[in-house]
Amino acid sequence: MAVRAVVPESHPLTRRLLLVLAVACGLSVANIYYAQPLLADIGRTFSVSARQLGVLSMMTQIGYAVGLFLFVPLGDRFEQRRLIVVMLGVVACMLAAVALAPTLLWLYIASLLMGVTTVVPQLIVPLAANLAREEERGKVVGTVMSGLLIGVLLARTFAGFVGAWFGWRTMFGVAAVLMIALGMVLYMLLPVRHPDSKTAYGEILASLFRLTRELGPLREAAAMGGLLFGAFSVFWTTLVFRLGSPPYHYGSEVAGLFGLVGVAGASIAPVAGRLADRQSPRRVAAMGALFTLLSFALFAVLDDWLWGLVFCVILLDLGVQGAQISNQARIYSLRPDARNRLNTVYMVTYFVGGALGSALGADAWSAYGWPGVCVVGGVFALLAVYLGWRRVRPLAVNAEK
What pLDDT digit, counting tens, does each position of 206-253 carry? Answer: 888 999 999 989 999 999 999 999 999 999 888 888 888 888 878 766
Host H or E run for residue 105: helix 104-117
What pLDDT was estimated at residue 295? Answer: 95
Residue 9 forms part of a structural domain: no
Q: Which DSSP category does 187 fall into?
A: H
In a domain, 398, yes or no: no
CB 64, CB 118: distance < 8 Å: yes
Instruction: State CA 322 to chain mean position distance.
Output: 13
| CB contact at 8 A, 342 and 354 | no
- pTM as predicted: 0.72
Distance CA 228, CA 372 (A): 17
Torsion of CA 172, 174, 177, 178, to 10 degrees: -100
8-state DSSP, 215: -
The DSSP code for 377 is: H
Whether the link from the prior residue into 126 is cis, omega within 30° of 0, is no
Residues (pLDDT < 70) of the chain are 1-12, 134-135, 137-138, 194-198, 252-253, 256, 262-279, 391-401
Q: How far apart are CA 254 and CA 37, in angstroms?
A: 9
User: How far is CA 157 from each of CA 94, 136, 304, rounded to the nearest angstrom?
Assistant: 22, 32, 22
What's CA 176's distance to the chain center, in Å?
Answer: 19
For residue 119, tell me if it sits in a domain: yes
Query: What per-residue confidence (pLDDT) applies to 264?
Result: 66
Q: Which residue type sits at 26?
A: G
Q: Is residue 111 within 8 Å of 35, Cβ to Cβ?
A: yes
Sign of CA dihedral 215, 216, 218, 222: positive
Asked whether residue 400 is domain-assigned, the answer is no
CB count, 10 Å around CB of 297? 15
Q: Identify the DSSP state of 159.
A: H
Q: Residue 348 maps to which CATH number?
A: 1.20.1250.20
d(CA 343, CA 345): 6
66 lies in some domain: yes
Other C-beta atoms closer than 10 Å to the C-beta of 392 total 13
Domain count, the chain: 1
SS3 state at 119: coil
The pLDDT value given to residue 31: 93
Residue range(s) defining the domain that contains residue 283: 15-389
CB 176 within 8 A of CB 263: no
- Cβ(327)–Cβ(142) below 8 Å: no
Half-sphere exposure of 394 (CA within 13 A, CB side): 0
Question: For residues 28 and 186, what is the distance between their CA atoms, to the nearest angstrom?
Answer: 12
Residue 174 domain-assigned? yes
DSSP secondary structure code for residue 199 in this structure: -
In a domain, 358, yes or no: yes
| Residue 1 covered by a domain | no
From residue 190, how far is each of 18, 99, 147 by CA, in Å? 10, 29, 17
pLDDT at residue 177, as a whole number: 97
On whether the CB atoms of residues 361 and 237 are closer than 8 A, the answer is yes
